[in-house]
Structure 1
Amino acid sequence: MSTTLAKAASSGFHDASAYDAHRPSYPDAAVDAFLGHLITPGTAADGKQGAQKIVEIGAGTGKFTEVLSRQAVQAAAKGSGQSLEILAVEPHEQMRAQLAAKKLPHVTVVDGHGANLSMVQDSAADAVIVAQAFHWFANYEALKEIHRVLKPGSSVGVVWNIEDYNKPRAWPAKVAWEQGLNDIIYSLAHDGSPRFRDGQWQEAFAEVAVPDAAANRPALYSPLADDRVYWTVQLTPKALWKRLLTLSQIANLPETGPNDEQEAAAGNTTQPTSRATVRRRFDAVLARDDVARNDKGEVTIHALTFFAWAQKLAA
């Protein structure tokens, strides 16, 4: 099974501190709804009392791990004897270091990959969570490995924050200028890396929800269910640009390129080959008349938290 970190992720997320500073966290309403499908308060998936073990794969710098840690602290404060223990698995060295440095309560940080959870025993996890990362390893091998570590009847959950500038092409933008930003993202060269917006990650779940007699594979999970919670955030144009720079397709571009002048003359009709070209087009969108700003100069970004879950079946 492949445990290689995708090249685009390795290079695109090398500035882990920027990712941690500028990527959004998760709204409480979305967290409560998502975890409600995965964690039953007071009882582990096997029906026994005691600590619930959560494995988070692709934990990154800990944007969702922080949420889980707060949940664990709150559970401990109730004094009911119940608790959450989180194993945060992250293959990217810089991101893992950023997360470990936070020293989050009830969190153990380890090196690992979705297709290699050798540090977790069979049927040990009450839930497996993947936040903002499953598209990087959406394959049978990873879902089989997750199935191995889940307790009978427990579930795997995946969650993403999706802002309108980085949405799937078929999803309508709330306002026209945000569609303009989305068009910039789609004008970038495709580097071959999977992303949420291409929808291919769903195919991995579809594959494991039905038996494959030819390959002698039983169904591993129930059919995928999903939901979403909508939200907005106000950002200055500078902060919004820094958030776009955390996207690997932009982060991996050179700062300037030999074709910058030609790309400037061509307007928006050519594929950007540098961050300078992307920034020029970004500035042009933010200068449009339909961009509303508050008295702080901030613009409203429309977004949603998309989450999905599937229950382990007996293999």
Structure 2
Amino acid sequence: MSDPLAQAASSGFHDAGAYDAYRPSYTDAAVTGFLSHLDSLAVAEDRKQWPLKIVEIGAGTGKFTEALSRQAVQSAAKNAEKQAQILAVEPHEQMRAQLAAKSLPHVTVVNGHGSDLSMVEDGTADAVIVAQAFHWFANIDALKEIHRVLRPGAFVGVIWNIEDYNKPAAWPAKTAWEQGLNDIIYSLALDGSPRFRDGQWQKAFEEVAQATADHPALYSPLEDDCVYWTVQLTPEALWKRLLTLSQIANLPETGSNDDKEAADSTTQPTSRATVRRRFDAVLARDDVVRNDKGEVTIHALTFFAWTKKIQV
């Protein structure tokens, strides 16, 4: 089966080092809350089946894999017999190399993607996790393949860090200036790539949770929760975080319309230079509050959802 890695992801995430350095990690509260719904490492002390096998799809540079590895180390430290095996599956070559170089305990890094987990035997995974990536392959083929590798009654969980500047349009921002950044994101040209904020990723789950005359339901109805958090960043660190968004990363550094876009803020940005000018204008607003280090507070949440495999 061919690698379905979207072109926008392939090119937008080519600088895996920047992605790893500037994308946010996951809070302990979010990790614990999420894993508790998957009957996974967060409640591993109560498990009777060991070793625990977790498959993480779209592991990227390992932002969530690091959290899984820490949980596995803690579990093994309490009881040497309670070992966890984490299979980190990632199709993007540069990201996979970045993750493999970390040599995380209990983690094996492999090439693969959501629709092809041929390296995993049927019914052997105690949980399948997708962090910050399911929107890239939210389709029936992937959910069928995940269903194949899960043991009966096991869970698949999806999780995203969502800052206010990159939130769905219907979600209210905590501050007016963060809404200003969100408006910039929505002013960018659509590139046809799926994203969390468009909400389309949920449709695949809805389809596989509904039984029809031709197809039984594969999963229970999707459930979700979230954990709110904040982070303090300098404007430059915030800009570097925005540059890890493929919609901005794939823009040229400068463009032939830069002068026009500088004079008319209603025109669609066609270069990173225009996006940077508009970013700087938002950060210069009077309502932006800074601490004594010059940092601004970014509001965000970690959204996670989960569903259980129904044996068919």
TM bracket, shorter-chain basis: over 0.9
2-side partners of 1:119 and 1:42: how far apart? 28
Secondary structure of the equivalent of 2:146?
helix
**1:149-180 deviations in Å (ceiling 9; x for gaps):** 00000000000000000000000000000000
Residue matched to 1:53: 53
Secondary structure of the equivalent of 2:19?
helix
Residues 44-123 of structure 1 aligned to structure 2 (within 5 Å)? 48-79=48-79, 81-123=81-123
2-side partners of 1:31 and 1:177: how far apart? 29
Structure 1 residue ranges (4+ consecutive) displaced by more than 4 angstroms after TM superposition: none
Secondary structure of the equivalent of 2:44?
coil
2-side partners of 1:120 and 1:177: how far apart? 46
**1:92-145 deviations in Å (ceiling 9; x for gaps):** 000000000000000000000000000000001000000000000000000000
Residue matched to 1:249: 247
Residue matched to 1:286: 283
Structure 1 unmatched ranges of 5 or more: none
2-side partners of 1:35 and 1:84: how far apart? 14
Q: CA deviation at 1:232?
A: 0.2
**1:56-91 deviations in Å (ceiling 9; x for gaps):** 000000000000000010011002521211000000
2-side partners of 1:113 and 1:212: how far apart? 28
Pairwise CA RMSD of aligned residues? Answer: 1.0
> Is 1:240 aligned to residue 238 of structure 2?
yes
Q: CA deviation at 1:212?
A: 2.9
Residue matched to 2:212: 212
1-side partners of 2:2 and 2:206: how far apart? 20
Q: CA deviation at 1:42?
A: 3.8
1-side partners of 2:173 and 2:130: how far apart? 26
2-side partners of 1:162 and 1:116: how far apart? 27
> Is 1:132 aligned to residue 110 of structure 2?
no
Letter paired with 1:41: A
- Whether the 8 Å contact between 2:229 and 2:299 is mirrored in structure 1 is yes
- Whether the 8 Å contact between 1:121 and 1:149 is mirrored in structure 2 is yes
1-side partners of 2:195 and 2:145: how far apart? 21
> Is 1:311 aligned to residue 303 of structure 2?
no
Structure 2 unmatched ranges of 5 or more: none
Aligned length: 309
Letter paired with 2:257: N
2-side partners of 1:150 and 1:217: how far apart? 19
- Whether the 8 Å contact between 1:2 and 1:115 is mirrored in structure 2 is no
1-side partners of 2:4 and 2:206: how far apart? 23
Residue matched to 1:143: 143
- Whether the 8 Å contact between 2:210 and 2:217 is mirrored in structure 1 is yes
Letter paired with 1:82: K
**1:293-315 deviations in Å (ceiling 9; x for gaps):** 00000000000000000000012
Secondary structure of the equivalent of 1:228?
strand
Residue matched to 1:11: 11
Residue matched to 1:24: 24
